[in-house]
Each structure stands twice: as C-alpha cells, then as structure tokens.
Structure 1
Amino acid sequence: MVDLYVYYKVRDEDAERLAHLVCALQTRVIQPGHARLLRRPESKDGLQTWMEVYPDVPESFAATLEDAVAGAGLDGLLQGPRHVEVFTEIPPCA
C-alpha cells in the first residue's frame, strides 16, 4: 500500500466550482472519508495551491485516479498540470 499526494494550482475564482468536482471525483474513486482535499491558506497572484491526499491505497490506485480525472471536467479549471507523488511507509525503528 502507498500514500498518494496530488497537488496543483487553481484560480481563486474557480475554487468553489473545482471543489465540487473534486469532491464528486473522490466519492467515485474511493470510500467516503478516506480521501482529503487540502489547500494552502494563502493565495499568490490569484492562485491557490491544492492537494488531494489518498492514504493507504493500492499501488494501482494512481492509474484508477488518472482515468477518473480524465472524465471529471477538471482540465479547464486547473492552472498547469496535476503533480502526483507516491510515498511508502518506512518500517518503525523501534
């Protein structure tokens, strides 16, 4: 299992509309309450930085998410690409 982090930028004026689309997307791809949608508290030059967090998902989930994003209607609301980062847990030291 891995943790998946996806970050991207959105214009202030598109934030509310995008939030609805991302929440609907998350509901379709993973059980409710398992994903998180975060944003940095400040905007810079009219842009917000958002992050989707998918903890403890199978490695194949990244492909599932990519397919879902393709049909979710997010493209026109994003400023630049979605950046996907995958992290694995390090076994405890003690």
Structure 2
Amino acid sequence: MDLYIYYRVASTHAPTLLTKIRGVQATLQARQQVAGALKRRPGEQDGLQTWMEIYQGIADTDAEGFTHALEQALAEAGALPLISGARHVEQFEDIAPCA
C-alpha cells in the first residue's frame, strides 16, 4: 500500500516545515523502514503552497501501525501547527495482474 498525503502550507512557514517534515521522514525510516518523499506543486496561491508526502511499500498488515507512527512523529516534530487546514490522506494499492 502507498500513502499520498497532501496539504497546504503558508510560504512564510515553508522553510521551517521543510526541516520538520524531513525529520519526520527520517524518524519513519528508522522506526518503520519506510522511506518518504516530499513534493510541492509549482507556484503558490494566496500565499499558500501545496505539498505532498508519499510513503510507498507499506505492508497492508501494518497500515494502521504506520499511520499511528506517522501521527506520532508529526506531533513530536511540532509540524502540525505549521500546516494550513487539513492533511488529506489517500491510500492506493497495486493492481494485481490478471491470471
């Protein structure tokens, strides 16, 4: 399973949040052995940027554990107050080949 999480951040908070999210991803790599990627939509709108975190290859049997670890790492890093609005989480899974 893969997680795609997108949210908005004020451009003024972007440098601080970048450091915090990189720390969150390093924590998840160490604790969950899941590497994260961080992307940003080009440009901004009304002083806000759209960011996306991507976590791939999460075992279906450990999705709940990973989500809990992610929320804990975000809280520990103090990242959530820098995010404008909600974090939108989307789950995707691989399509099994036809037999």
Return the letter of the residue paired with 2:49: Q
- RMSD, aligned CA: 1.8
Q: How does 1:1-94 map to 2 (within 5 A)?
A: 2-30=1-29, 34-58=35-59, 59=63, 60-93=65-98
The structural deviation recorded for 1:93 is 4.3
Contact 1:3 1:57 in 2 (8 A): yes
Please report the TM-score for the alignment, with normalisation by the length of structure 2.
0.84
Return the letter of the residue paired with 2:82: L
Runs of 5+ consecutive residues of structure 1 not aligned to the other structure: none
Runs of 5+ consecutive residues of structure 2 not aligned to the other structure: none
Q: Which runs of 4 or more aligned residues in structure 1 lie more than 3 Å from their structure 2 counterparts after TM superposition? A: none
SS of residue paired to 1:30: helix
Deviations 1:12-67 (A, max 9, x none): 11111100000011000125892100010110010000000000013231121112
Give the helix-richer structure, 1 or 2. 2
Size of the aligned set, in residue pairs, is: 93
Identity %: 43
SS of residue paired to 2:67: helix
CA distance in 2, matches of 1:92, 1:47: 40
Contact 1:34 1:55 in 2 (8 A): yes
CA distance in 2, matches of 1:93, 1:11: 45
